[in-house]
Amino acid sequence: MTETPFSISIPDEKLELLRKKLELTTLPDELEDSGWKYGPPLGDIKRLVARWRDGFDWRAKEAILNEELPQFTRDIQVQGHGTLNIHYVHQKSSVAAAIPLLFMHGWPGSFIEVQKILPLLTASSPDYPTFHVVALSLPGYGFSQATKKQDFKTGQHAEVGNKLMVSLGYDKYGGDWGAIITRKLSSLFGGAHSQAWHVNMPRVRPPTIYQPLLYLRHMLTPYTETERLGLERTKWFENQGRGAIHSLIPPVGLLSWIYEKLVNWSDSYPWDDDEGPTASIRLYYEYTQSKDRVLTKEPTIPLEVRCYPRLWSLTEGNLVFESEHTSGGHFAAHEKPQELVDDLRKMFGKDGPAFGVVPGRTGYL
């Protein structure tokens, strides 16, 4: 599993093929005064297609990504699926006792989501902990090789993440982001390797009779106005028909779908026309829920796509810390990078509930 330095270099013929596809795109008509009811407005899509086709400087973006994100590839053996070549970002702090942190992206997103928080997480200070950060591209996503076999589920994604961290010398580490896969990773490798995980999009259920004290509190405690609105937003998200993403092979179809999510899943973040096209590549995975015993931290972000009552979070496992924010959405690392990093520093800091959870790595100078 030798590490190989990697730089993004998209062949010119691939860029030319994309340009031709954009030129050949036929856009549909639009109903009058429909707004966002049937998806993003046609005028927005026309503007973005024109920008992508004629004005977007990929080579400039490519150079920035290569400059700011130290990238590598490494072969990872996955049980039942052979060897996959995995792409990842690996930025070490100058602090020897820095905490290893595995950043897992989700959908729609990619390893690029770590770009804004990387310098903040690896910065050293006597006032807060610092991190060695690893951000992988999930198999079949971005520049990581895809499996050719069926049944590559969250367990296999978690196996890749854990084996990558161990191969880098991080036998004990914490996890962040990529809610579903990070949760699975903690379930499979918690205690032995994964010591804590942080997520801003918890996937929880209300307490049941098998948790009698929580169930009683759940039945007797009314929802707050914030929790009620959060459940309404969760219901809205679940009714979006997420399975439709898998048929969006044409680039403009994918652009339209991603643009809608960037707008609707964020908290009025001012996306410019050059941010959207680089924000995401396609991913599909299956999810199987399981229990874990690892320290958990969940921030409440008002325009996250899933917002559950706080009491529900207590069913998640060893929940040690919660925080609440007045603004932000699903793309917290992009919209609110400082707030996200502050949460991690509080969780792993000297006064935090996860301080010292990674043996020999406090994160301090």
- Report the C-alpha dihedral over residues 244, 181, 4, 151, rounded to 10 degrees: -60
Strands (E), 167-227: 173-176, 194-198
What pLDDT is recorded for position 286? 32
Superfamily of domain covering 1-25+35-355: Alpha/Beta hydrolase fold, catalytic domain (3.40.50.1820)
Structure tokens at 235: 């219901």
Q: Which amino acid is at 335?
A: E
CB 120 within 8 A of CB 341: yes
The DSSP code for 192 is T
Spell out a b/e string for 84-100, using b for 16 or more CB atoms within 10 Å of the CB, else e: bebbbbbbbbebeebbb
Structure tokens at 87: 């792409």
Helices and strands (DSSP H and E) totals, the chain: 12, 9
111 phi, psi to nearest 5 deg: -60, -20
pTM for the model stands at 0.73
Residues with Cβ within 8 Å of 49's Cβ and at least 6 positions away in sequence, in order, are 22, 25, 27, 252, 255
Q: What residue spans of 190-307 are helical by DSSP H?
A: 212-220, 225-238, 251-264
Edge-to-edge order in the sheet of strand 173-176: 4-6, 71-78, 82-91, 131-136, 99-104, 173-176, 194-198, 295-300, 318-324
What pLDDT is recorded for position 87? 97
Determine the Cα–Cα distance for residues 117 and 173; give it in Å rounded to an integer. 18
The DSSP code for 52 is I
Determine the Cα–Cα distance for residues 291 and 316; give it in Å rounded to an integer. 7
What pLDDT is recorded for position 32? 80
Q: Can you list the residues of the chain whose pLDDT is less than 50?
A: 177-178, 241, 243-248, 276-305
Q: Which amino acid is at 344?
A: L
Structure tokens at 60: 């400039």
Which of these, 230, 240, 242, 223, lies nearest to 180 by C-alpha position? 242
CB 115 within 8 A of CB 133: no
For strand 82-91 and strand 71-78, is the pairing parallel, antiparallel, or unpaired? antiparallel
Which of these, 176, 80, 139, lies nearest to 186 by C-alpha position? 176
What pLDDT is recorded for position 208? 77
What pLDDT is recorded for position 137? 94
Which of these, 233, 216, 215, lies nearest to 225 by C-alpha position? 233
Determine the Cα–Cα distance for residues 361 and 365; give it in Å rounded to an integer. 10
> Cα 210 from chain centroid?
31
Which of these, 171, 177, 213, lies nearest to 89 by C-alpha position? 177
Determine the Cα–Cα distance for residues 64 and 301; give it in Å rounded to an integer. 29
327 phi, psi to nearest 5 deg: -150, 165
Residues counted in the chain: 365
CB 92 within 8 A of CB 124: no
What pLDDT is recorded for position 170? 92
Cα angle at 275 between 271 and 278, to 5 degrees? 145
Determine the Cα–Cα distance for residues 135 and 359; give it in Å rounded to an integer. 21
